[in-house]
Amino acid sequence: MIEDCLGHCALVAGDISFNVEGLRTGFWQLTIDGLSWGAIYALVAVGYTLVFGVLRLINFAHSEIFMLGMFGAYFTLDMVLGFAPSGNAYSKGIFLTVVYLSIAMIVAMLVSGTAAMGLELVAYRPLRRRNAKSLAFLITAIGMSFVLQEFVHFVLPQLVKGYGGSNAQQPIILVVPKTQFTVFGATVSNVTLVIVASACLFAALVDLTINRTKFGRGIRAVAQDPSTATLMGVSRERIIVLTFLIGGLLAGAAALLYTLKVPQGIIYSGGFLLGIKAFSAAVLGGIGNLRGALLGGLLLGVMENYGQAVFGTQWRDVVAFVLLVVVLLFRPTGILGESLGKARV
């Protein structure tokens, strides 16, 4: 990544622009496009932040949970619902499209949720049993990220013909982006609308779950003080599995939304950069803090879009990380602070 960036920077350093005019004229369009990316980052970021809150673990394999969700959604559309991939858009009418996409989303959520729980059981639980150091968890997380990527890259093509491998899946497109209405001269497409609306809904749901339900109270209790929570009758192991499940479900939902936006993005490495961005979003908002992750995601999506308007498209990722560094310089615990267990959540 860094290597990539350095080589890249050396090559295009001459091309860096400073186009404030572009930002001014395209402000609303950039905001809206940025929000739709931010919404996806936010949903993925929740997975990082919840797991960190409960376990103090950065689950780097979360980006691959997201990637598996994309494959789950694709599998549903292709094998279960019988859409042959063609790269062209299907026209099934509004109602059927809705039904198909809903089914795909639910399956994607289930795939990601199951994968996240499986990851917990296979990779992290044995370590916890043996009281491993936090560094061991971190290395395991990075390792599992590679295991899952290479599984889809090399093993999946052997198991299911036409899946995984080096190329992206041939897209199945159910929704063609069409402009629905304009706000201050910026066009809002149906895809953007779905992404932002669904993301808001899921954000509200997860917020309610954490803050209002008994489970949520359990999660907050474990985050705050694991041993006291256990003494009070909270099953720590169960809470941990549940935390992974919630993160996975949201990653699956984000995966389907992402494939609406980028139908060509279903590839083994497709979660990597997005995962890093989502993780940054979680840190930006204050890792461990649910609302922080949501806010951080939206902010990162919008800011990097402004950034690419000012400095040029190729600087988008750089802008995102510079923003992260700047915010952490002034607020080392992120915008809303790191507290899943404390009053802030």
Partner 1 sequence: MRDRVTRSAVVIGAVGLVVIGLAGCTQSPPSDSASQSNLKIVERTPIDANGKEIKPPDVSAAVSPAGDGKATCPPLSIAMAGALTGPDAQLGINIRDGVQLAVDKHNAANPGCQIQLKTFDTEGDPQKATQVAPQIVDDASIVGLVGPGFSGETDATGNTFNQAGLVAATASATNVTLSQKGWRTFFRGLGNDGSQGVAVANYLKNTLSAKKVCVVDDSTAYGAGLGKVMRDTLGPVAQGNCNISVKKGDKDFSAAVTQVKTAAPDAIFYSGYYAEAAPFVQQLHDGGVTATFVSGDGTKDPEFVKQAGAASKDAILSCPCSPAPAAFADEYTKKFNQPPSTYSTEGYDLGTIFVTGIDSGATTRPQLLDFVRGYNGPGVGRQYQWTDTGELTNTLIWIYKVQ
Q: Cβ of residue 148: shortest distance to partner 1, in angstroms?
A: 16
Q: Which stretch binds partner 1 (CB under 8 A): 141-149, 278-286, 311-319, 330-338?
A: 311-319
Among 262, 276, 322, 328, binds partner 1 (CB under 8 A): 262
Q: Are the C-beta atoms of residues 242 and 91 closer than 8 Å to each other?
A: no
Tell me if 77 contacts partner 1 by CB under 8 A.
Answer: no
Among 31, 230, 314, 333, binds partner 1 (CB under 8 A): 314
Q: Which residues contact 102 (CB under 8 A, 6 or more apart)?
A: none
Nearest CA to 254 out of 53, 79, 48, 112 is that of: 112
Nearest CA to 48 out of 199, 250, 227 is that of: 250
| Contacts of partner 1 in 214-243 (CB under 8 A) | 214-215
Angle at 182 between CA 178 and CA 187, to 5 degrees: 50
One-letter amino acid for residue 65 of the chain: I
Q: Would you give the DSSP letter of residue 120?
A: I
Q: Which stretch binds partner 1 (CB under 8 A): 139-147, 210-218, 280-288, 319-327?
A: 210-218
Among 171, 271, 288, 334, binds partner 1 (CB under 8 A): 171
Q: Are the C-beta atoms of residues 287 and 334 closer than 8 Å to each other?
A: yes
Among 72, 248, 312, 341, binds partner 1 (CB under 8 A): 312
Tell me if 269 contacts partner 1 by CB under 8 A.
Answer: yes
Outline where 57-189 has alpha helix (H). Answer: 62-75, 93-119, 125-129, 134-150, 156-159
Tell me if 158 contacts partner 1 by CB under 8 A.
Answer: no
Q: Which residues contact 99 (CB under 8 A, 6 or more apart)?
A: none
Classify 164 in phi/psi space as left (phi over 0), alpha (psi -120 to 50) or beta.
left
Q: Would you give the DSSP letter of residue 134?
A: H
Among 267, 278, 281, 319, binds partner 1 (CB under 8 A): 267
Q: Are the C-beta atoms of residues 304 and 316 closer than 8 Å to each other?
A: yes
| Contacts of partner 1 in 87-106 (CB under 8 A) | 87-95, 97-99, 101-102, 105-106
Say how many residues touch partner 1, by CB under 8 A. 71
Among 43, 58, 61, 173, binds partner 1 (CB under 8 A): 173
Q: Cβ of residue 92: shortest distance to partner 1, in angstroms?
A: 8
Tell me if 301 contacts partner 1 by CB under 8 A.
Answer: no
Tell me if 123 contacts partner 1 by CB under 8 A.
Answer: no
Neighbour-count burial of 118, counting CB atoms closer than 10 A to its CB (0-12 exposed, 13-18 middle, 19+ buried): middle
Tell me if 193 contacts partner 1 by CB under 8 A.
Answer: yes
Q: Site mask, partner 1, residues 134-153, x = CB under 8 A? A: -------------------x
Q: Which is nearer to partner 1, 84 or 122 (CB)?
A: 84
